[in-house]
Amino acid sequence: MTNNPVITDKITQVTANFYGLGIAPKILDILERMKFKVPTPIQLNAIPLALEGKDIVGIAHTGTVKTHSFAIPMVQRLVQKKGIGLVLAPTRELAIQIDEAFQEIARAFGIRTACLIGGAPMPPQVQALRRDPQVVIATPGRLIDHMSQWNFLPDSVIMLVLDEADRMLDMGFAPQIDKILRFLPRDRQTMLFSATMPKEIMNIASKHMKLPLSVEIAPSGTTVEKVTQELFIVKKEAKTQLLKKLLGQYHGSVLLFSRTKHNAKKIVRSIRDMGHSASEIHSNRSLVQRREALEGFKSGKYRVLVATDIASRGIDVAGIELVLNYDLPEDAENYVHRIGRTARAGHKGHAISFATPDQGHDVRDIEKLIKATLPVSKHAELTLDKFGEPGYQPGRAPARQSSHGQPRHGQSNYGQPRHGQTKKPYKYPKPKFYR
C-alpha cells in the first residue's frame, strides 16, 4: 500500500449523521425512510472517498453494515456516469443480501440490478441481464458462466467491488477472480471490503488497484465490540448434553456452527429431539432449502439455525442472542466472522465455543488473532474437561506400541522424555497468516 490508512476516530466524534458526506439529497431521503440515522465508522470514512472515485481497501469487523459503504456511492456515481457497477461476493446468501440492499436505494433512480448466483436457474438471470441492469451482483463462478455465453459483457464496468475479498480468495476463487479482472477495463474504480485482510491477500488485491487507500476501522481480526465470549472445554461425546443445558439456559435465537455438513444434520436431529425447532444451511442444501431455512430463522419459525462456515459471512439476521461454535473453525479467521453474526450494529450479543481437550492449539491460534484470551467456563450440572491430560503435548502422537503393549525400541512412553534427555517446552507455531 502506498497510502497511509485513513484515521477514523477523529471524524466519528463530529459527524452524527449522513449529512456532510457528499451524499445526494435524494439518497439522504431514502436513508431517512430506512431509519438509517447514524453512519457506522466504515460508512463514515469509506463513502466520501468512494464518491471521489478513489480505490479503497476497507477493513471493519463484521456487523458494521459494510454493504452500504459501497452501495450508496455506487448508485450515486452510476446516476452521474454511464456504465455498470459489478459486485463480487463469495456466497449465494451474501449476493442475495447485497442485491436486496441495492434495490432499496437504486429503485428510486430507475436503476435495475441483476443477481447472478450458482444453484439458481440460468434463464431468469439471462432475462435480467437483457434488461440492461446498471448493477450486477454475482458469485465468481456464475459470472464466468454468463461471460462465456456472452450474456454479460464486462467492458462497460466502471466500478468493481470485492466484498469479503479475503474469503473469496481463501475459498479458491483466485483463478476465477484473475480471469474476470483480465476482461475488465483498467480505467475503473475498485473497492475491497472485509472483516479480515491478511497480508498475502492484500498483496494480491493491490496488484489490481491504483493507489488504493486503506480504511482500517479495526485491525484485522478484531471482534465485534459488544459481543461477550466464553469457552467450554468438553469431550466430543459430551457436547450434545452440554448443548441441551445451554439451550435451556438461553431463550432467544441461536446460530450454531458445525465444521462439517454431515455433523450439521446430526446436530439438527438432536436439537429437534430436545424439543426445539431447528433447520440447517450448508452446501448440500439447495438454494430453495437454504433460503427457506434462513427466512424461517429470521421469522422465528426456527429457533436454532445450524450452519457450516458458508453462513459465517454476510448473513444479516437481527437479534441473534447466541452464536454457538459447536465445532471450532478450521481457520482462526472464521471465528471472527462467526461470532460477528451476533451483537450487530451496536447491539449486545454472546458467543460460546466448545473445544475438545486436544484443541488447545486451535484456541491459542484464535486468541493470537483476536489478541484476547477466551475465558473458560464451567457448568454447575456437568463435569467438564481441561486442555491436555497429564503428559499431553499438542501436535505429538503417542508412541506406537509393540504387540506386548510396550513402546518399541528407541521410543519413549507418550508424554515422557527419553532416557537421558531433557524435556523441552513445546513452541506453538505461528498461524499461516503471521508467517
Residue 281: all three cell numbers together? 444451511
The strand ranges marked E within 274-418 are 278-281, 304-307, 322-325, 349-355
Q: Using one digit for the tens of pLDDT, what is the confidence trace for 220-266?
A: 555 555 789 999 999 999 999 999 999 999 999 999 999 999 999 99
- The residue among 263, 344, 245 whose CA lies nearest residue 307 is 263
Diameter of the chain measured on Cα atoms: 83
CA–CA separation, 426 and 350 (whole Å): 33
Q: What is the pTM of this model?
A: 0.70
CATH level 3 topology of 227-370: Rossmann fold (3.40.50)
Q: How confident is the model at residue 287 (pLDDT cuts 50, 70, 90)?
A: confident
Backbone angles phi, psi at 388, to 5 degrees: 75, 115
What pLDDT was estimated at residue 98?
Answer: 94
- The residue among 46, 58, 51, 47 whose CA lies nearest residue 79 is 51
- Helices 122-130, 140-148: axis angle to 10 degrees equals 70
Residue 347 CA from chain centroid, whole number = 18
Alpha-carbon distance values, 142 to 32, 118, 154, 172, 213 (Å): 35, 5, 14, 14, 29
Q: How many CB atoms lie within 10 A of CB 348?
A: 12
Domain 9-216: give its CATH architecture.
3-Layer(aba) Sandwich (3.40)
Which residue bears the cell 426456527? Answer: 302
Angle at CA of residue 345, ends 341 and 347, nearest 5°: 80
DSSP 1-44: --SPPPP-HHHHTT--SSTTS---HHHHHHHHHTT--S--HHHH
* pLDDT beyond 70 at 123: yes
Residue 351 CA from chain centroid, whole number = 15
What pLDDT was estimated at residue 284?
Answer: 85
Question: Per DSSP, what are the bridge partners of residue 307?
Answer: 257, 281
First-residue to last-residue Cα distance in the chain: 19
Sequence spans of domains, the chain: 9-216, 227-370
Q: Using one digit for the tens of pLDDT, what is the confidence trace for 363-417?
A: 999 999 888 899 999 887 777 778 874 433 443 333 444 444 444 444 444 444 4
CA–CA separation, 175 and 185 (whole Å): 18
CA–CA separation, 127 and 97 (whole Å): 20
Q: Using one digit for the tens of pLDDT, what is the confidence trace for 9-33?
A: 334 444 568 888 999 999 999 999 9
The strand ranges marked E within 271-337 are 278-281, 304-307, 322-325
Q: Using one digit for the tens of pLDDT, what is the confidence trace for 251-263?
A: 999 999 999 999 9
What pLDDT was estimated at residue 410?
Answer: 43
Bridge-based pairing of strands 227-233 and 254-257 is unpaired
Domains 9-216 and 227-370 share a fold: yes
Give the type of residue at 396.
R
User: Three-state DSSP class for 276?
Assistant: coil
Q: How confident is the model at residue 204 (pLDDT cuts 50, 70, 90)?
A: low
Give the type of residue at 176.
Q
User: Three-state DSSP class for 81?
Assistant: coil
CA–CA separation, 164 and 94 (whole Å): 9
Q: How confident is the model at residue 133 (pLDDT cuts 50, 70, 90)?
A: very high
* pLDDT beyond 70 at 203: no
What pLDDT was estimated at residue 404?
Answer: 44
User: Three-state DSSP class for 314?
Assistant: coil
- The residue among 300, 308, 246, 301 whose CA lies nearest residue 280 is 308
Percentage of the chain with pLDDT > 70?
A: 77
Give the helix, strand, coil percentages of the chain, each rounded to 5.
40, 15, 45
Q: In sequence order, which residues have a C-beta less than 8 Å from that of residue 29 and are 6 or more positions away?
A: none
- Helices 92-106, 25-33: axis angle to 10 degrees equals 120
Q: How confident is the model at residue 358 (pLDDT cuts 50, 70, 90)?
A: very high
C-alpha gyration radius of the chain? 24
Mean pLDDT of the chain: 81
DSSP 181-244: HHHS-SSSEEEEEES---HHHHHHHHTTSSSPEEEESS-TTPPPTTEEEEEEE--GGGHHHHHH
User: Three-state DSSP class for 281?
Assistant: strand
- The residue among 149, 153, 200 whose CA lies nearest residue 180 is 153
The whole-number average pLDDT for the span 123-130 is 97
Question: Per DSSP, what are the bridge partners of residue 194?
Answer: 59
